[in-house]
Amino acid sequence: MVTAEPPQKAVEVLKTTETKSVEAPEAAPTGETMISVRNMDFNYGTKRALHGINMEIPSRQVTAFIGPSGCGKSTLLRCFNRINDRIAGAHISGGQVVIKGKNIYDADVDTTQLRRQVGMVFQKYNPFPKSIYENVVYGLRINGVKKKSELDEACEYALKAAALWDECKDRLKANAFGLSGGQMQRLCIARAVAVKPDVLLMDEPCSALDPIATLKVEELIVDLKKDYTVVIVTHNMQQARRVAELTAFMYLGELIEFAETDQIFGNPQQKKTEDYVRGQFS
Amino acid sequence: MHAPANSALLENPFAKRRSHRETYEFLVKSVLRGATYVILFATAAIFLHIIVKGSPILFQAKAPFINTEFLTKLPETLHVLEDKQGHIYKTDPKGADAIKHQLGDNLRQEKTISYSGGGILGPIVGTFLLVLVCIVVALFLGISSAIYLSEYAKPGKFIEWVRLAILNLAGVPSVVFGLFGLGVFVLAAPVFTNTPMDRALLVIPLGFTQMSFQGWDTSVLSGAFTLAFVILPVIITASEECLRAVPMGFRETSLALGATRWQTIWRSVLPFAMPGILTSSILGIARAAGETAPIMFTAALAFKDKLPWQGEAGLGGVFTESVQALPYHIYTLAARIPQNEYSERAQYGSVFVFLVLVMTLATASVLLRRKLRAKYKW
């Protein structure tokens, strides 16, 4: 599983992609490895949360992580943009996470640069108590973009990408808290998309939404893979089947099986996977 | 109505029973209620007394309905002259000479009552300046350290000790703060000057000028810094609470978009914590405005016949002159001059004005909180 891929010209890649154009991010050919996890161990203090994870996540596809609560799927997702660094004592204790050819846990990696390219959408929709417009352009503003035209363009692009433009274009200045739950979550997706990341991480993006809003977000996720590599953590196996090309089943901090979604649900190779997808334990 | 015929014979199973337990319940309730009423009574007594005695001094029946003289004149000595027919003339030092001259032999007696004539503009201005500088200093220091403690510092033993020290600061008697201010700000704080005093603790030459640790003297600055330290614990604790109340999701989202820590705090934590911080700080201001001991040694004089900008330094002296302040003025009026019927006007007037100021601040804080809560809820 471990494909040795020397992290060549990684720094240049990180630098050159810091572009502020409005087109969708530069295409990496579909299916090429975007994130490569190599023999990774992860600890919360002395407690090991992830054991020897190995996986290759292809670009411009949707990859789903499933598994029972506490299996480490969110932890793994949060390793990809190093948001776990915030937690005291949390650290990677072995192996590598290579994104676009660069181990993101190298000392010379700037986490702010990393997170601009690896965006994240959280479980609980959490727009800022600001206008819809200000929410979407937040990421651009912290990058120092001041030009009104540039912000406007990015706002329109992101809202369109998040299928929210038609609903919101007449009330961009309205407070985001006036939106419904589903709209708020799509706004959060727009906010993440506005900075044009290469990867979009989604941590149970639909768990706080009703079924109809969930469907809309799922449609959006399928749509987004045209331009983005999407990795989604979900509790809902049906959701994984609906949106993901690849599915990873995790259990007790280990990656049990990682394969095409149809195989995981139709013809799992591991006993544990089979038990889980058949609903024999949760 | 439809009770069976023998209902009178049946015992009511739900009848009230007089028991020890019930009496005990009643007693407990009465004691608790009594304690509350005692507090209510004390508060009402204080307020009513001051309002009844004080409001006639500030307000008047004729337009403009407010006794402007009391608010716009500096305190001065009150002269009371009585002639042999029993007429009484109240006047200021200048007027006293004229009346004495006019009365000639007819003057029976003259009384002078210190600080009880004129108005209380000096103390009002002094308190205003002290509070202004104090709140700027306290907010800067307090919010900065609250941000450090809640956003940057790694939780651990050391930080726990720091928090404990801050809480203990709240328990330090205010007179100790006053002495601390005297020692540090009045006598030892650094100033830039070409001619350091002999008593300076340390003089550091800087080339173009010298930094002399000779203190800021008795001044608005010394007093305001001392007051700032009195209210710092309140501000730090309140700020930390408000910062913690901002949802973690705001921080994570901001960081996940590539913001640095400071960008995150500046754009998506502080703005949402600020309303709470400000409202709690207003209560801190009320406290600072009311403190007497910390300013006794550091800023306030019992009497001063000039406003801070009327001294030698002109407008530049606003922060470096000593001032009169309301709480200290009230103390002086109450404890340092002989009491008689003529001293009451200044006493009750000052207390009433002071109370109105503090209550205005408290009300403003409540209204502000209500308004901002509605605007910034999440």
pLDDT of residue B312: 74
B7 pLDDT tier (thresholds 50, 70, 90): low
A281 pLDDT tier (thresholds 50, 70, 90): low
pLDDT of residue B185: 92
- The angle that helices A181-193 and A211-224 make with each other, rounded to 10 degrees, is 20
Residue A230, Cβ density class (10 Å: 0-12 exposed, 13-18 middle, ≥19 buried): buried
Two tokens at A102? 């660069």
Q: Verify whether the Cβ–Cβ distance A116 to B257 is below 8 Å.
A: yes
Same domain, B95 and B131: no
Same domain, B251 and B107: no
Which among B251, B257, B260 has CB closest to A139? B257
Mean pLDDT of A260-274: 92
- The angle that helices B261-268 and A132-142 make with each other, rounded to 10 degrees, is 160
Q: Verify whether the Cβ–Cβ distance A129 to B272 is below 8 Å.
A: yes
Q: Is residue B241 part of a domain?
A: yes
Q: Is residue B207 part of a domain?
A: no
A29 pLDDT tier (thresholds 50, 70, 90): low
Mean pLDDT of B129-133: 91
The residue of chain B nearest to residue A200, with distances taken between CA atoms, is B256
Same domain, B95 and B233: no
Same domain, B131 and B279: yes
Which among B249, B254, B263 has CB closest to A124? B249
Cα torsion A236, A248, A95, A225: sign: negative
Mean pLDDT of B247-276: 91
pLDDT at A7 over 70: no
pLDDT at A18 over 70: no
Mean pLDDT of B361-368: 84
The residue of chain A nearest to residue B262, with distances taken between CA atoms, is A142
Q: Cβ distance A205 to A235 under 8 Å? A: no
Cα torsion B30, B36, B41, B42: sign: positive
Mean pLDDT of A171-193: 91
Q: Verify whether the Cβ–Cβ distance B257 to A191 is below 8 Å.
A: yes
B150 interface with A at CB cutoff 8 Å: no
Domain ranges in chain A?
31-277
CATH number at residue B246: 1.10.3720.10
Using alpha carbons, select from A281, A257, A251 the residue that is nearest to residue A269: A257
What DSSP designation does A85 have? G
Cα torsion A184, A187, A189, A195: sign: negative
Look at chain B and report how many structural domains it folds into.
Answer: 2
Of A190-204, A250-264, B32-46, B54-68, the least confident: B54-68
pLDDT at A24 over 60: no
pLDDT of residue A30: 66
Q: Verify whether the Cβ–Cβ distance B249 to A120 is below 8 Å.
A: no
Q: Cβ distance B230 to B173 under 8 Å? A: no
> Which chain A positions have a beta carbon within 8 Å of B252's beta carbon?
83, 86, 120, 122, 126
ipTM of the complex: 0.83
Output the average pLDDT for chain A: 86
B104 pLDDT tier (thresholds 50, 70, 90): confident
Same domain, B224 and B88: no
Q: Is residue B62 part of a domain?
A: no
Q: Is residue B328 part of a domain?
A: yes
Q: Is residue B193 part of a domain?
A: no
Output the average pLDDT for chain B: 85
Domain encompassing residue B98: 73-118
User: Smallest CA–CA separation between B240 and chain A, in Å?
Assistant: 19
pLDDT at A14 over 50: no
> Which chain A positions have a beta carbon within 8 Å of B158's beta carbon?
none
- Between positions 151 and 210 of B, the ones with CB within 8 A of A are 154-155
Using alpha carbons, select from B225, B70, B62, B200 the residue that is nearest to residue B138: B225
pLDDT of residue B377: 64
pLDDT of residue B275: 86
Of A18-27, A111-120, A263-272, B6-15, the least confident: A18-27
Using alpha carbons, select from B15, B76, B53 the residue that is nearest to residue B337: B76
B6 pLDDT tier (thresholds 50, 70, 90): low
CATH number of A31-277: 3.40.50.300
Q: Rounded to an integer, what distance in angstroms lies between the CA atom of residue A116 and that of residue B259?
A: 8
Cα torsion A126, A129, A132, A138: sign: negative
Q: Verify whether the Cβ–Cβ distance A115 to B378 is below 8 Å.
A: no
Percent pLDDT > 90 in chain A is 60
Mean pLDDT of B286-299: 88
Same domain, B227 and B359: yes
Q: Verify whether the Cβ–Cβ distance B258 to A128 is below 8 Å.
A: no
A2 pLDDT tier (thresholds 50, 70, 90): very low
The tens digit of pLDDT for each residue in B190-206 reads: 888 888 877 888 888 88
The tens digit of pLDDT for each residue in B214-231 reads: 888 888 999 999 999 999
Q: Verify whether the Cβ–Cβ distance B257 to A129 is below 8 Å.
A: no
B2 pLDDT tier (thresholds 50, 70, 90): low
Q: Is residue B65 part of a domain?
A: no
pLDDT of residue B55: 87
Two tokens at A93? 């204790």
Q: Rounded to an integer, what distance in angstroms lies between the CA atom of residue B378 and that of residue A126?
A: 9
